[in-house]
Amino acid sequence: MQKSLEMVKLPHFVSVENLSVTTVKALIQRATYFQQGGNVPVWSKPIYAANLFFENSTRTHCSFEMAESKLGLTAIPFDPAASSMQKGETLYDTLLTLNSIGVDLAVIRHSQNGYYRNLINLSANSQLNLGIVNAGDGSGQHPSQSLLDMLTIYQQFGHFDGLKIAIVGDLTNSRVARSNMQLLTRLGAEVYFSGPEYWYDQQEFSQYGQYLPIDQLIGQMDVMMLLRVQHERHANESQFDAQNYHQKYGLTNARYQQMKDKAIIMHPGPINRGIEIDSKLVEAPKSRFAQQMKNGVFMRMAMLEAVINGRHLGGR
Ligand code: CP
């Protein structure tokens, strides 16, 4: 990835579904440039962003705020609980309000899958003129997590071709699994799935990779990508047995010892220690959890810049 790739320009950044391999590589290159201390662009006018998080978040929310700060944007505080949405204002009308007072970009996390489609359709014939960056929608897409994961894998291996990558755990509820299985297969990696059968939907997942027990995968994989057990999305949570899950599907110390020398473990966070992973392994040599979080800031800078460019907000 030496040659300088074209500048990415997108009117919104809501999904990885239509991202080409060239675009992903350009974003990795741009995030790497920012990580290495490359100059941020000089904008021709002030650019304002608002971060609207309707689901809890630490990494994504703070990381977007950090990315905005490093890019020289001004973040306008928005708290859903203290907003007029509590009086019944719709999300569209909230965005129209923010846009009318000068906000150019809205970073949104929402529990509803695909919430952005309606907003983008409506904005085609309305006064709303604002870039939407999806910070995670229900169990749909998590493009910024997926792209920071691609950066982390690229930093480790320098390529994606033929890498064996297992996505393990709460698959059906996971926007991270959905985004990553799509991007990884497009980039040439071999994807495998593991975890409880009740969180595996063959019809949806089998087109992207094979489903196998973790003990058949662990010694063969280059990347073990663990997923958070999303307790808040489970109907029969009282039946969940953490110890049983850890022993059957989790990364125990015994399984860690079987991993290939150069293999890595990843997790989008937040981590349930002792469930997806033995607590002692969270900062083990093969763990890239902290690296993923560091990478998130620089990848989000690249994503925000792509939307600024796509909407010609900064004079470019
Ligand atoms: N990975 C991730 O989305 O974490 P947060 O929910 O803390 O943002």
The CATH number of residue 260's host domain is 3.40.50.1370
Q: Whose CA is nearest to atom 6 of ligand 1?
A: 57
Q: Kindly tell me the number of DSSP H helices and DSSP E strands found in the chain.
A: 11, 9
Q: Is the CB of 62 under 6 A from ligand 1?
A: no
Q: Are residues 126 and 150 in the same domain?
A: no
Q: Are residues 260 and 177 in the same domain?
A: yes
Q: Which residue is associated with the tokens 């662990």?
A: 218
pTM of the predicted model as reported, rounded to 2 decimal places: 0.96
Q: What is the mean pLDDT of the chain?
A: 96
CB atoms within 10 A of CB 250: 24
Q: Which two tokens stand for residue 23?
A: 């675009």
Same structural domain, 220 and 268: yes
- Both 64 and 126 in one domain: the answer is yes
Q: Based on the domain organization, do 53 and 131 belong to the same domain?
A: yes
pLDDT per residue rounded down to tens, the chain (316 residues): 667 778 999 999 999 999 999 999 999 999 999 999 999 999 999 999 999 999 999 999 999 999 999 999 999 999 999 999 999 999 999 999 999 999 999 999 999 999 999 999 999 999 999 999 999 999 999 999 999 999 999 999 999 999 999 999 999 999 999 999 999 999 999 999 999 999 999 999 999 999 999 999 999 999 999 999 987 878 777 788 999 999 999 999 999 999 999 999 999 999 999 999 999 999 999 999 999 999 999 999 999 999 999 999 987 6
Q: What is the DSSP string of 42-101?
A: PPSS--EEEEEESS--SHHHHHHHHHHHHTT-EEEP--GGGSGGGGT--HHHHHHHHHHT
Q: Ligand 1 centre and the CA of 24: distance in Å?
A: 21
In this structure, the residue with its CA closest to atom 1 of ligand 1 is 268
Q: Count of domains in the chain?
A: 2
Q: Is 299 found in the same domain as 169?
A: no
Q: Is the CB of 270 under 6 A from ligand 1?
A: yes
